Amino acid sequence: MIWRGKLLKFKELTAEQRRVAVDAVQLYQHFTDLQQEYAKFRGGLHWKRVGSKEYLVKTLDREGHQQSLGPRSAKTEEVLQRFTARKNELREQIKALEGEIAARSKFCVAAGVNRVPRIAADIVRLLDSKGVLGTHLIVLGSHAIYAYEMAAGVQLKAGLLQTNDLDTLLHTKSELEIAGDVRSSGLLGLIQKVDKTFRPARQRSFRAVNNKGFMVDLIRAPLSENRPAMSLGSNEDLVPEPLQGLDWIADAPRTTQVVIAENGYPVRFVVPDPRVFALHKLWLSTHPTRDPMKRKRDFRQGEAVASLALDYLNLSFEDEAVNNLPAELTSMRRGLIERLRNRRSAQDRERESALPPGFDDVDEDSAESPARKPD
């Protein structure tokens, strides 16, 4: 890997690392496509006798709702046959791909492209499998940066990403239509499927903590006075914490990216547009109510993601996605671009003044020191 930049330290992936990562991502995308198709076959088809006739019936959900596809005939028998054949085919394909993903996870670990903490990856993967990732929840905070660095083909300094909590943003602009099992479990019940030691930090809390101190936070944008507080599940679920400025994130475009967990297994992240993330982080770094201990990190994270957006993802800070943001965020744009441009120019000058191979820089102090006598 090659380190780039003095202040914004990151390493570009080698050609071999890129190959391993791309192969893993493409394989996982194919796997999730098959899973989504297989989900349409859940419930199954069966014959149901009503009076003197048999009808082909599709089970729609766990509550027992059914849909009739017509009386028994050559046509409905063919429908059942095609349904059963494709379902079995998909099951075998998914099983085979699970084995291939497990095998390739070892290559991801060996190549060093395994980045996301396993507990966070397992939680997000479960949220994705339940259909709430990208529809009702997105990944926010430091964990979102894993998606940006993977998209750019780089790895940022560990200090910019290390965190002991996973932030999930609940979308509250529309009514939540959630499957019955998810509604009954809520976010707390889902993350307890990953680690049963997760407990609310306190009664009616927005945060759950496991026995190792890892936290999962549920946050949301402030609601209007006539809107009731919302949560993902039942009354025993986590209660989302309203935070100022999150409405800008909730309304912003989103980015989907497959990343690699510590154990080498892929997981899909849905995160805010990197430019919106960067400007929001810079805004946070200047907000008077922000914890002073977090402001410096917010600033560095914002500049790092902005640099990736400009230099690697070929995104502009002058297009509609950014222009539609509120003045609180767009006001950060000019100074950000100037700082990154000046830093890039300084790095270019450093490369131009570098000595050819075989020459060494001589420090000024050493030039004035007495010459060493030969042994």
100-138 pLDDT, tens digit per residue, is 999 999 999 999 999 999 999 999 999 999 888 998 899
Contacts of 183 (CB under 8 A, 6+ apart): 232, 233, 234
Which residues does residue 53 pair with via DSSP β-bridges, in sequence order? 50
Handedness of CA 25, 127, 216, 190 (dihedral sign): negative
What separation in angstroms does the CA of 55 have from each of 63, 68, 76, 80, 81?
Answer: 20, 7, 9, 11, 15
User: Which region among 87-91, 176-180, 187-191 has the lowest average model confidence (pLDDT)?
Assistant: 176-180
Mean of pLDDT values over 249-258: 92
State residue 127's pLDDT score: 93
Whether pLDDT at 15 is above 90: yes
Per-residue pLDDT at 341: 84
| CA 45/CA 116 separation, integer angstroms | 40
Range name among 156-170, 214-228, 288-302 with the lowest pLDDT average: 214-228
**Rounded-to-integer distance, Cα 240 and Cα 233, Å:** 11
Return the bridge partners of 256, or none.
270
Residue with the bigger pLDDT between 360 and 244: it is 244
Give the bridge partners for 261, in sequence order.
Answer: 116
Q: Which of 81, 75, 55, 74 is nearest to 66 (CA)?
A: 55
What is the rounded distance in angstroms from the CA atom of residue 192 to the CA atom of residue 251?
Answer: 29
- Of 136, 135, 316, which is closest to residue 218 (Cα–Cα)? 136
State which H helix or E strand residue 86 sits in.
helix 74-111
- Residue pair 260/116 in contact (Cβ under 8 Å)? The answer is yes
Angle of helix 118-129 relative to helix 180-194, nearest 10 degrees?
160
Q: What confidence category does residue 369 fall into, taking pLDDT thresholds of 50, 70 and 90?
A: very low
Residue 141 has which token pair? 């905070």
Task: Report the chain's C-alpha Rg in angstroms.
Answer: 26
Please give the backbone phi and psi of residue 360, each rounded to the nearest 5 degrees, phi first.
-120, 140
State mean pLDDT over 232-246.
82
Q: Round to whole Å and give the CA distance between 344 and 16.
A: 27
* Crossing angle of the two packed helices 333-352 and 292-311, in degrees rounded to 10: 70
Q: State how far the Cα of 295 lies from the Cα of 212, in Å rounded to an integer.
A: 26
Q: What is the largest distance, in Å, between two alpha-carbon atoms of the chain?
A: 111
Q: What is the pLDDT of residue 349?
A: 63
Cα(137)–Cα(158) distance, integer angstroms: 25
Predicted confidence band of residue 361 (pLDDT cuts 50, 70, 90) = very low
Does 7 score more than 60 pLDDT? no
What pLDDT, on the 0 to 100 scale, is given for residue 60?
78
Q: Which residue has the tokens 């950014």?
A: 322
The confidence band for 344, taking pLDDT boundaries of 50, 70 and 90, is confident
